[in-house]
Amino acid sequence: MIRIAGVDINDKKQARFALTSIKGIGKTLVKQILTSLNIPFNAKLSNLEEKVIVDLRNYIEQNYVTEADLVRQQKANIKRLIDIDCHRGSRHKKRLPVRGQTTRTNSRTVRGNVRNTGPSGRAKAPSKT
């Protein structure tokens, strides 16, 4: 196992797939990283030399915000929006969709998966005697 940015990475995988297990690094960033360090895309991490792995680790930790720092930065951005009381901040505070999605019929994951049917909440009609 190789440890980069606080994450244990499977060294049996190819570099382009193994590095995506780091939070904040996706497919496009993996391409940029591997091309800048001249590492082939299909090379397995176990086949790389120790010096190349150290260079890879240093490059990622110096140039990209990953893992806990990224989560902390995202939470700070959301807190800032809530503190300045903007529209997006109020949507975050109410746990509603932020980016303009309709909420009349969809957004069940945010609002809770509660579906009320028509007659379920009504009082029953009095029976004739």
Q: Domain count for the chain, please give it.
A: 2
Instruction: Give the pLDDT confidence score for residue 12 in this predicted structure.
Output: 93
CATH of the domain at 25: 1.10.8.50
Q: Is 61 a residue whose pLDDT tops 70?
A: yes
Same domain membership, residue 70 and residue 58: no
Helix (H), strand (E), coil (C) string for 48-89:
CCHHHHHHHHHHHHHHCCCHHHHHHHHHHHHHHHHHCCCHHH
Q: Per residue in 77-122, pLDDT tens? A: 999 999 999 999 999 999 888 998 888 888 777 777 877 766 666 6
Asked, for residue 112, whether it belongs to a domain, the answer is: no
Residue 68 clears pLDDT 90, i.e. is over it: yes
Under 8 Å between Cβ of 24 and 67: yes
pLDDT score recorded for residue 43: 93
**CA 114 – CA 45 distance, rounded (Å):** 47
CA dist 45 and 53 (Å) reads 8
